Amino acid sequence: AKEFGRQRMRGGHLLSKMRFVSAQLLAYLDDGLWLELASHANLAAKWLRDGLMDLCGVEVIYKVEGNAVFARLPERMLKGLLAEGYLFHRWPGEAGLVRLMCSYSVQKEEIDDFVRAARLLA
């Protein structure tokens, strides 16, 4: 318990100088950067949705309104994508349902690669 404060700070869980965090937030909010990044992530989710909707056995469950795509994929496709190193969240208690998240940094080519890999497993 005596070392807890030191360990917490070493682990990055103690923000001792809020000016650093504040500077990052100001840069994020300045000149609409946050909106540009969010818009790109949302667009990437639409690219992903469009690519998945054409695949046999894939069902996009919900309307894409942000940077997440909820889809039901065949088990064979899920296992193949995981084996190829793709990461996604499997929804608990729902067979084949996954949540696919798109980042502000994802490129169209990466979305195309994922869809291409899924198509080969369809």
Domain ranges of the chain: 32-121
Measured distance CA(96)–CA(5) in Å, rounded: 43
Task: Determine the CATH number of domain 32-121.
Answer: 3.90.1150.10
pTM: 0.78
> 54-112: per-residue pLDDT in tens?
999 999 999 999 999 999 999 999 999 999 999 999 989 989 999 999 999 999 999 99
Q: Is 32 left (phi over 0), alpha (psi -120 to 50) or beta?
A: left
